[in-house]
Structure 1
């Protein structure tokens, strides 16, 4: 029976090693690469994190939603800095989660913390409707990505109006990945597209093609370029392992799911230089 036992034990050992070390290998390659956000004391400030309501990839009908770390990482960066954080969406109510983003091997430590946080989970399932909010109540408005965002962030008139008004009040506007689509419907003080002539980033066409989701209706790189934005990004042997953060005045944007840490850091850094009003 030894000739049976040895291969079985070898396979079991391989499975254990894969389970233990694959997440770390992905970190080394660039997925949620370790990044330390310094301490900030911003008690009394407020942040709004906006996610998608869309839960299906049309026309395949596969489940989609918001990508876990793209909202959990900034959420806890803001919480750790003393901010009160609200969660919103174009329609309000339940925010779906992109399958796989909250499970092995992709789930980040902030994802796990969020899933165990009763208040955070309640707010995720009972998000505020953007149309019911006013920008003056927040110091920063941050838009998370996930493939579902391709279906409703740019298409939402309520979100476009909210971001337009927030920009007029010089609020910090942040995003990662597909979240940049939330900037695309807004206008600046001159009546031109908000992103026109501005340095911004978001998920690349290359990454979208790598994941085979070109069926989605809006692609951040394409839409931002169409509106006259100066689109910046980094490439890797596969773009899902790249990261980049861009700062242009009150716009602070991150390229993809790996960019939440630095993007949140730069937002907090800018907030620390502003007077609390």
Structure 2
């Protein structure tokens, strides 16, 4: 009997170690680092977060047959809470409107960030995610900040969305702060600057790298951000790590602010708040889980 109980205890200990130890190890390696820089408030400001509407990771010639995907959770939740906590009104939109597909693995016990866990308890944001606004019906110039969330789904529908391109163009020409993270900057590809030239041409920016895409083994998506943005004339910058998923980099070129991958949501959002005229209020504070 003692041997039985010892075995049960060892099994429970192993489960606990895996359940809490592996996420802690990933965090220590660089996944979803806590933001400890200056925070900004912009009461009365308005922010728009745009996500994909594409829900499956499709191989060429097999539409709708891939595994479930969508927006990568932290690339949506981290900026949302940064803007809400800054006192802004935040609208949530997607390419088609309606329910936003969320990458299931990104909300798993292994990968979920602080902001993701807050989302899982947030009835209001869950409702916004089920009933997102279609980008085609929006006036982008009403927002101080326009943020493009990433995830594998964005590789399928952000760059080809003409209403999104027109909205980004209008926001940029109206002097708004524009940006995004990971695959999100694909939504900038067809936008134009004030002179009618491609918005990204000659701009310093970042997004998910070719190396991260290769390391994750998903090379069949229709667009790869580093490849497409370089081809469009952007000055592409990035950080590196043994595994690129643990890297973090944010680039601000005037009113254009971009983050390299899923680790950059908080930093990118705070830089956008600063550039949009936010008031600096704290330093070295980790936002509480709510």
- TM-score normalised according to structure 2 size: 0.90
CA distance in 2, matches of 1:12, 1:116: 27
Paired residue for 1:175, among 173, 180, 186?
180
Please name the residue that 1:48 is paired with: 48
SS at match of 1:223: helix
Q: Are residue 32 (structure 1) and residue 32 (structure 2) matched?
A: yes
SS at match of 1:100: helix
Please name the residue that 2:20 is paired with: 20
SS at match of 1:85: strand
CA distance in 2, matches of 1:156, 1:91: 10
Question: 5+ unaligned residues in a row in structure 2: which ranges?
Answer: 60-64, 280-290
CA distance in 2, matches of 1:273, 1:26: 32
CA distance in 1, matches of 2:70, 2:278: 34
Instruction: Please tell me whether the aligned partners of residues 40 and 278 of structure 2 are also in contact (alpha carbons under 8 angstroms).
Output: no
SS at match of 2:257: strand
Deviation of 1:15 after TM superposition, in Å, equals 1.6
Paired residue for 2:153, among 148, 151, 155?
148
Paired residue for 1:253, among 252, 258, 274?
258
Paired residue for 1:61, among 37, 53, 66?
66
Larger RCO (CA within 8 A; separation ≥ 6)? 2
Paired residue for 1:226, among 231, 234, 255?
231
For residues 155-179 of structure 1, give each alpha carbon's deviation from its aligned partner in whole angstroms, at most 9, with x where no partner exists: 1111111111111112100200000
Aligned residues: 274
Please name the residue that 1:131 is paired with: 136
Please name the residue that 1:199 is paired with: 204
Instruction: Please tell me whether the aligned partners of residues 94 and 126 of structure 1 are also in contact (alpha carbons under 8 angstroms).
Output: yes
Instruction: Please tell me whether the aligned partners of residues 196 and 227 of structure 1 are also in contact (alpha carbons under 8 angstroms).
Output: yes
Q: Are residue 105 (structure 1) and residue 110 (structure 2) matched?
A: yes
For residues 33-64 of structure 1, give each alpha carbon's deviation from its aligned partner in whole angstroms, at most 9, with x where no partner exists: 11125343311100000000000111351111
Question: 5+ unaligned residues in a row in structure 1: which ranges?
Answer: none
